[in-house]
Chain A
């Protein structure tokens, strides 16, 4: 059974170890940034999660508590027993109590996966899945230093659900303006944001969207119990905007922006995403880089207006 994950901070290895098929929702084939008429202020990503939950009875959607939109989306999807879903509480703080909550949520998710027909994993199976995921992420982190963002994004998408991993190709060497794309989930492989940036003379030096390199942060230590390592490997390495304080995100961005010599930031967010939109000015103040906010348009592709804005942004940086 396919299990759609709405956040990279839900351990995909745990789902796979149960014999089920985890996928990031942002790579769902029918993904479309549209919301139902009359639902002003609803985030298209959260709405899509609701629609998938309601229309794919043979799959399950794991919502998260990382934002109000997904929390309320879960309420809407499961309202009066409409569909099957699970709300995973990803804590916002790094406190010991928060870690306890995270651990309990992974255990609770395991019970849910069993209800879906999954098989309780042995420590060996879990360890194997974690080892493989760890190696894949390590390879991708290394490849991301030089590979084109599109192929890195595709490979990141693949590491969520494929066992095989092929390293992405090498980025072109011509002088292009290095940019960072920061923000919420982005269907990088099929959207035209990266294409528009490259066509305008830019280069994605750092893909810090939810579906990009931040996905690769979990690292597993050598704990005796693989479950302990799984919990710690995720909980201690979450890098996201919803964390309070979100200093881990800024530390990660600082290193990434500096290493990749980014000269500008494209801030990608969905309509109604308060968490990312509120960071626009802080990003500017913290890193001293120009920031171009871009809102996910209706439909999967960028509008001509947004393409023009990207062109102007890059032209100003040349």
Chain B
């Protein structure tokens, strides 16, 4: 019989893993105890985190933490590696549609200094390359490219540019100056159609001028040709359509998981595992088929727990919507330790959670989803979606976490907060989470506690 859901620290998970193993737990080839990631991968942050105790969560963590090994194995087997940057969720759908290609986001290196608690020295290397701490933690990517100790050097680098974050654009340009050629593709700023301009519906209840969709489609055609050349075969519409179908399977699973967990009266899975699960939408953690299995396992676990009235965070917890990804994973634990639970999230890639239209020519469908990126449109569009999801999940308070150094954070938080307060009249705070937030825990705790207090006080008003 499965034990009741609870959160375990790393030592407790060692014990739990051994018990599961003796009880006959069957793990994939990347499975094993979480401890080994500390010993062999120097992922010291794991020692400060609390994890869900389910085998499904174990599989999720092992899947996440073995990605670099997976990429190296793929390279050794002759696969071509594509580094896709910034677009968050579109180009990987294209790359994985072609046999023999693996796509990943070098951007993801931004969590490496957190996981390795700075022992990776990636920030110091970025400093030495001229990109200092005034830039967002994605700068860790520069060091990872230079030292080649994390992910393999991609065979092709693709980056969206235009209406994207300055930090990332500047870091990627620095990367190119350092000798890593990049295929840049234009991402225009999304706007609403003017009077008389043919409109085009986008996922996420958005709309843009048809002309912008056509331009993005033309840009994605360039990407398609480059991927085809790398793979040695055309990325035709049939392959692309199949790729979209599989990506949508991942998105449907995630949508079901989010609905099951966020809408439930009490949380069957913790916030930290949900954050990691959402990240799988971006590039399937470099294994599309396995990401489906991992997500299906989490969904089954969440549903099973709810059926058995098993929860991990009680119904009294304050229902929080979280905006922007956290540079330190520990912040997710902290929120729950202080009496909150996540009931909605916008980790800057809500478009990667939406279904890609399957009733359109595939490249046009991808152009539409790319243009629905919350970061390329007006802040008010992003705020509207946040408000909508807050309403759906009876959210009681909103946390807007600033990403250190990120250019978009200087203004958007205030605007989002204003909309939330006007339309929902619920409390919202803005706080900054650094890659290792230990030194700021007292201050972060005080602010989060104050938010919970206010949200709780409003229950009795």
List residues of A whose CB falls within 8 A of some B CB.
Answer: 39-43, 65, 67-69, 71-73, 75-76, 79-80, 87, 89, 91-93, 95-98, 100-101, 104, 108, 111, 242, 244-246, 272-275, 277-282, 285-286
Least CB distance from B401 to A in Å reads 14
Interface residues of B in 142-186 (CB under 8 A from A): 159, 161-163, 165-167, 169-174, 176-177, 182, 184-186
A sample of 23 inter-chain contacts (CB < 8 A) reads: A67-B407, A68-B165, A68-B166, A68-B407, A72-B411, A75-B379, A75-B412, A79-B379, A80-B380, A91-B186, A92-B162, A93-B185, A95-B219, A97-B218, A98-B215, A101-B186, A244-B162, A244-B169, A244-B184, A272-B407, A274-B135, A274-B169, A275-B166
CB pair B166 A274 closer than 8 Å: yes
Least CB distance from B136 to A in Å reads 9
CB pair B162 A65 closer than 8 Å: yes
Among B131, B135, B162, B194, residue most surrounded by chain A Cβ atoms (within 10 Å): B162
Provide the residues of chain B in CB contact with A40, threshold 8 Å.
410
CB pair B165 A101 closer than 8 Å: no
Docked complex Cα distance between A309 and B178 (Å): 29
Docked complex Cα distance between A68 and B167 (Å): 9
Chain B residue, CB-CB nearest to A96: B218
Chain B residue, CB-CB nearest to A247: B176
Least CB distance from A86 to B in Å reads 10
Give the contacting residue for B169; candidates A41, A96, A275; CB below 8 A.
A275
Least CB distance from B153 to A in Å reads 19
Provide the residues of chain A in CB contact with B165, threshold 8 Å.
68
CB pair A278 B188 closer than 8 Å: no
Docked complex Cα distance between A278 and B131 (Å): 6
Provide the residues of chain A in CB contact with B304, threshold 8 Å.
none
Give the contacting residue for A69; candidates B135, B161, B170, B407; CB below 8 A.
B407
Query: How many interface residues does B have (CB within 8 Å)?
Result: 49
Majority SS at the chain A contact face: helix
Q: A65-B189, A97-B218, A245-B184 are in contact. Are A75 and B169 (CB under 8 A)?
A: no
Docked complex Cα distance between A280 and B407 (Å): 18
Majority SS at the chain B contact face: helix
B391 sits at the interface (CB 8 A):
no
B222 sits at the interface (CB 8 A):
yes
Least CB distance from A308 to B in Å reads 22
Report the 10 A-B pairs with minimum CB-CB distance, sorted nearest first: A281-B130, A278-B170, A41-B410, A97-B218, A68-B407, A72-B411, A274-B166, A244-B161, A244-B184, A97-B215
Provide the residues of chain B in CB contact with A281, threshold 8 Å.
129-130, 174
Docked complex Cα distance between A41 and B407 (Å): 7
CB pair A75 B166 closer than 8 Å: no
Among B159, B189, B379, residue most surrounded by chain A Cβ atoms (within 10 Å): B189
Docked complex Cα distance between A48 and B216 (Å): 32
B409 sits at the interface (CB 8 A):
yes
